[in-house]
Amino acid sequence: MISVIDAAGQEIQLGRELGKGGEGSVYEIPSDSSAVAKIYHRPLSAEKAEKLRAIAQLATPDLLKVAAWPTSTLHNNGIIVGFLMRRIELGMRPIHELYTPKTRLRQFPTANWDFLLHVATNVVRGFAAIHAKGHIVGDVNHGNLLVCSRGTTTFIDCDSFQVRRNG
């Protein structure tokens, strides 16, 4: 089992790999079912490590409500190797599966016009919450916004956002 240290100095044991992308892999945290860890495949530049530190320090309840926002950096031998974030609920799908008619019928069979408006409103609320803190969604695409059957939306890939700290 892999272990890392969070920003508070606590050891975090990583569980099974839940997903893998170009930048890193996401692991479950057996001791905390509400969180997951993203661990990067390659060492981070000093600039990226500082950005992750800043993003984690900027976490607020409003941001955590609408995004899988980093909440703590993760370290190995004092070097940032990843971060903690809230675990996305099961059943969330990339938003393009809602707005593409064929997959909407399969993934969201009861979606009607009211549901689509509800989701659109939640997307706008998410952008507003992020922008209200002075941050910018750096990679707006259909794979970085998830939606569930209740119409709740969540931004992912928050480590690509442009953030404002100390002006």
With H, G, I as helix, E, B as strand and everything else as coil, classify residue 51: helix
Active-site residue list: 139
Tell me the β-bridge partners of 57: none
Question: Which residues lie across from 20 on neighbouring strands?
Answer: 25
CA distances from 79 to 37, 65, 167 (A): 15, 28, 26
CA distances to 33, 69, 91, 122, 167 from 24, rounded to whole Å, are 20, 16, 22, 28, 29
